[in-house]
Amino acid sequence: MQNDVIHQVMATLRQECRQWDPPAVTVVAEQLRTPFTVLISCVISLRTKDAVTAAASARLFAEAADPAALLSLREEKIAQLIYPAGFYRTKARQIRDICQTLQDAYGGKVPAQLDRLLALKGVGRKTANLVVTLGYGLPGICVDTHVHRITNRWGYVTTRTPDETETALRAKLPSEYWITINDLLVCYGQHHCLPRSPFCSSCRLAGWCERRLVERSR
């Protein structure tokens, strides 16, 4: 895929994704609009389905929506509120650790800098970039498994890891799409451009896609 068609690709993606619900973390960000809720909902979302993430986040933030309030809850209570999110006990411990660091080091505020976010326990580049983009509206590119897989499938980048994909996209993708590409490709990757047997025959992007590593499609 050549860079001169990326504007058409992104416009088509926007049209296609209107038929599906946005990712849970995006919904949380739109409803509550705080970097803290984006950060914690991202932690909850790892290895967890969107519907479970949305419900667990709503229960937790109804009880406590800032670091100080969350620290007043016992770890067992947090685990109960976010259940049945994957690894909910481990995440409850991680959430309290993050809140303690935010209180001690940043006065209860979530930093907007990637390096400071990455220093928080259990926070990787995907979560850090989501906080920067959805929480603060600052430039950044969140690369999860869908963004990594699909941009390589297109032939837009040639990379081995999500971190390499982020670097490649920062160098190539027009900045106007940095924040939106994650939402669009998560949505498209969950519903149409599946990891295995994607719906290539009905894909409106088929004319631009190199279908790299696609062994079987529908």
CATH number of the structural domain spanning residue 7: 1.10.1670.10
Identify the band that residue 199 occupies on the pLDDT scale cut at 50, 70 and 90. very high
Specify whether the CB–CB gap between 70 and 78 falls below 8 A.
yes
128 & 152 share domain: no
60 & 81 share domain: yes
| Helix (H), strand (E) at residue 194 | none
- Answer with the one of 77, 100, 135 that is the final residue of a domain: 135
Query: Residue 64: CB partners within 8 Å, gap ≥ 6?
Result: 70, 72, 73
Query: Residue 104: CB partners within 8 Å, gap ≥ 6?
Result: none
At residue 164, φ and ψ (nearest 5 deg) are: -65, -35
The share of the chain scoring above pLDDT 90, in percent, equals 87
Domain count, the chain: 2
127 & 32 share domain: yes
Spell 62-98 as b/e; 16+ CB within 10 A means b.
Answer: eebebbeebbebeeeebbbbbeebeebeebbbbbbeb
67 & 119 share domain: yes
Q: What is the pTM (predicted TM-score) of this model?
A: 0.87
Structure confidence by residue, pLDDT tens digits, 65-116: 999 999 999 999 999 999 999 999 999 999 999 999 999 999 999 999 999 9
Structure confidence by residue, pLDDT tens digits, 13-41: 999 999 998 877 776 666 667 999 999 99
Q: What residues act catalytically?
A: 126, 144
36 & 110 share domain: yes
Provide the token pair at 204.
């409106």
Domain limits for position 174: 3-21+141-202
41 & 102 share domain: yes
